[in-house]
Amino acid sequence: MRNLSLKLLGAAHTTKSSEAVVAMQTQPEFRRATEAMRMAYAACLKALDDAKVSAEEREKMLVLIGTAYGELEVTKDFLKDWYTSKLARPMSFQNSLHNAVLGFLSIQLRLRGPGLTLSNGARTPRDLFEAAQVLLQTSESELCLVCHVDSYMQKMREDIGFNGEPVLIAEGASAIVLTRENSRVSQNSEAILPAHFQSWAL
């Protein structure tokens, strides 16, 4: 399979303190959404708008969601409730799954194309790019929405360090819209991403 250069059509980044993310906390449709879902939604919506992706194009575009560790806070709460009450709350279990963000975005943003969630620790960003490259080369779809999102527990910030020094943990959501260099929609952009890359960080 030959290397494929990608074109960047749109990009966005959000954190949990971003105005759009904070505003979602009072909106009914986001009442049961996790922090990661809200951050990913805000970033993806901005990236789609930046790339001027139409509603019709959203129906067919590829969607890749990446998370280094998944919904840690939600998983912790689910397991704690299960241990203390011997009852499992369905919503907590559903939201603790790695692909919960993908399902949420597909519904809220009306994304009907193929979707995939990747989780591989610190290598996740690079895996996302490699997957986007392969999928755009082998799929009929010309657009790929890629989002990397992570939300960490306070306990992780307290415990993670290196040689006695605290480590800065990135938290937030970054989203980009990619296309093949020679695609019909690539004429809207001059930004080209090389076929090989080392990393993509929050």
Asked whether residue 52 is assigned to any structural domain, the reply reads: yes
Neighbours of 23 (CB within 10 A): 12
Give me the residues paired with residue 176 across strands.
Answer: 11, 146
User: pLDDT value at position 16?
Assistant: 86
Which tokens hold the place of 113? 């194309």
Collect all residues with Cβ–Cβ distance below 8 Å to 45 and sequence separation of at least 6.
12, 20, 109
Asked whether residue 79 is assigned to any structural domain, the reply reads: no
Average pLDDT across each block of 10 residues of the chain; the chain has 202 residues. List them in order. 74 90 89 89 96 92 91 71 73 70 94 93 88 90 94 65 59 92 61 46 40
Residues, the chain: 202
Asked whether residue 116 is assigned to any structural domain, the reply reads: yes
Q: Indicate which CATH number applies to the domain containing 129.
A: 3.40.47.10
Asked whether residue 120 is assigned to any structural domain, the reply reads: yes
The model carries a pTM of 0.81
Asked whether residue 191 is assigned to any structural domain, the reply reads: no
Asked whether residue 14 is assigned to any structural domain, the reply reads: yes
Tell me the CA distances in angstroms from 98 to 8, 37, 167, 170, 200, one per residue in order.
Answer: 26, 11, 24, 18, 20
Q: How many domains does the chain have?
A: 1
Residue among 50, 41, 193, 174 at smallest CA distance from 132: 193
Residue among 59, 36, 32 at smallest CA distance from 141: 59
Which domain does 61 fall in, by range? 6-70+98-181
Asked whether residue 198 is assigned to any structural domain, the reply reads: no
